[in-house]
Chains A and B, each alone.
Chain A
């Protein structure tokens, strides 16, 4: 396999695994969030914060992927 191929796989893994982890975390938070909002609609703002916190993972994954692609190529 060429170096470019390995770099591409590395970049894909960086964002793919981060996205998977974000998805798993958000699935659990999302389910609880719906329950919380139904019980207490005014908690929407707080729940929104909790829901989007794991997204940082995928952003970091994306950044690492970009750095892999551009710094190593």
Chain B
């Protein structure tokens, strides 16, 4: 059902706005109305924050950003690591806020220092990793590099382009000529197409060799900026040393950050939560209105929570703040927030209602009808003891595992009910993984593979009942809205559907043939009623005749499902080998089972959303969003 709502106005002295807002947030049942009809009728002055409140908001906003940044920088703490006592949530009075800003500043500078050190280490490591290949290639030759007054050394990389593998030979020739054979070349392969070469030669020809290399387009080995001014040998040794030291340093800095997180993360999280809570309160004051002395706010409260809320406000402010109920303007009906309230086994089915849309306030909540007919249709379509038991087990496991995820938990609950009806219809059809039911003594009361016509008649009968119920609800809804003409047109539509189906049944000899004349007369009368009271809109009632035929899918999809199950057994039985037969039949049954979950779900939903809802459902309800703290701090795991 749709929870009855009350429209309220809370009046208090202007200086109590902050306190009232905080209490409203704590109570958490008032859906604040941002544009009340009163504000349109009478010009009301919106509440204006004073300068101090504005500055406080700015300070809180900055603090929230800073806290968010610090919480991103500090590593997460696993549940077992926290050893301290639960930090208390800071009181954000003027002094409390100043103290918190100071603490955040101090912790922030420590966190920034530690993370800057870690970042520098990681960046340098990333930079050095670019030289990894050259470093690995040149390391064996490091012992040949000696600092000497006579000898110089140089590293170059050679790119072998277009299959030209003579660059090394060219380099040998060039060096031999320049140094009169007083040189050494060591080379190692970097990858398929490049070599790194270490050249040792007399210092006297150093500048000539460098300019010649430049002219030939041979690039010197590029080293990190930090060691670029060092001789190659020394630079390589420094890099090697750094590569060994940096991971240790990085791990130390990480530990520093971890220690800071252990000390401060929970405190900062609690503070962030308090700041957010405070900001939400300040933002909510924008919906207050004011006079010279008083402030007031409009909103919606579930009627059953009204007394509790009034009592709490009264107790908190000793009669200085008062809640009064306001009359509801008929134009406001569509804007009244909607809360669905169904108990016990019906509640999970609200998920299926919400999947399409919330009904508008004052219309009919289809959840109870979904709770009855969805499992019925599902069971009718799938109807197999084996599949039903598998579904039951699956739904039970999912429900237990995802107990904290409402939508999954609700869907699992729906499928628990649907699996029960699947088993019941399975017994009725005598099906257990198709025809295997025969071997365990299941006898079909309605054999789907043979009794097509009776099953067709049952589907049509159920469709008629379902559509007729939808039309009846539509008629009731129209009556309740005061639209008598539409109500009578709907009743005419109801008569039309029932007599049309009865007429077909009489023609097919399922009902006495003698009824045909009377049924035709009633049919024509119902058409007359529809067009007199419904006008052109009444033509839509004729669509219900097609809607009834749509329920034939209860038979069609069901027979397709059972035919697949039979095919699985048949194919399995055609193989001589027992294990292979079980494997084939098992695979096909698994595929059919997956289809069996999806297809009946979609078809049953469709029969509700299209054929059933069409006659009474009024979508477009405004969701109820009470003013309460939206970002609770993560659960404390001490």
Contact = CB atoms under 8 A, between A and B. Distances in A.
Nearest to B460: A63
B456 A45 contact: no
Interface in A2-61: 44-46, 48-49, 52-53, 55-56, 58-60
Tell me what chain A mostly uses at the interface: helix, strand, loop, or mixed.
Answer: helix
Contacts, number: 48
Chain B interface size, as a band, is: 20 to 34
B340 interface: no
A53 B553 contact: no
A55 B356 CA distance: 19
B609 A48 contact: yes
Contact of B609 (A49, A58, A59, A70): A49
Tell me what chain B mostly uses at the interface: helix, strand, loop, or mixed.
Answer: helix
Contacts of B556: 58-59, 62-63
Given A59-B550, A62-B556, A70 B355 contact: no
B603 to A, nearest CB: 7
A55 B606 contact: yes
B357 interface: yes
B507 to A, nearest CB: 13
Contact of B549 (A49, A52, A55, A60): A60
A49 B356 contact: yes
A60 to B, nearest CB: 7
Contacts of A66: 452, 456
B305 to A, nearest CB: 27
A60 B453 CA distance: 14
A63 B355 CA distance: 30
B609 A45 contact: yes
Contacts of B609: 45, 48-49
B605 A59 contact: no
Contacts of A53: 606, 610
Interface in B534-576: 546, 549-550, 552-553, 555-557
Contact of A52 (B356, B453, B603): B603
B355 A44 contact: yes
Contacts of A46: 356-357
A64 B355 CA distance: 33
Contacts of B555: 63
A58 B552 CA distance: 10
A58 B555 CA distance: 12
B397 interface: no
Contact of B552 (A45, A49, A59): A59
A63 B610 contact: no
A28 B237 CA distance: 66
Given A45-B355, A46-B356, A59-B556, A70 B606 contact: no
Nearest to A64: B552
A49 B606 contact: yes
B553 A59 contact: yes
Nearest to A69: B452
* Nearest 9 Cβ contacts at the A-B interface: A45-B356, A45-B355, A62-B556, A52-B606, A59-B553, A59-B556, A63-B552, A49-B609, A66-B452
10 contacts: A45-B356, A45-B609, A48-B609, A49-B610, A53-B610, A56-B546, A59-B553, A62-B552, A63-B555, A70-B453
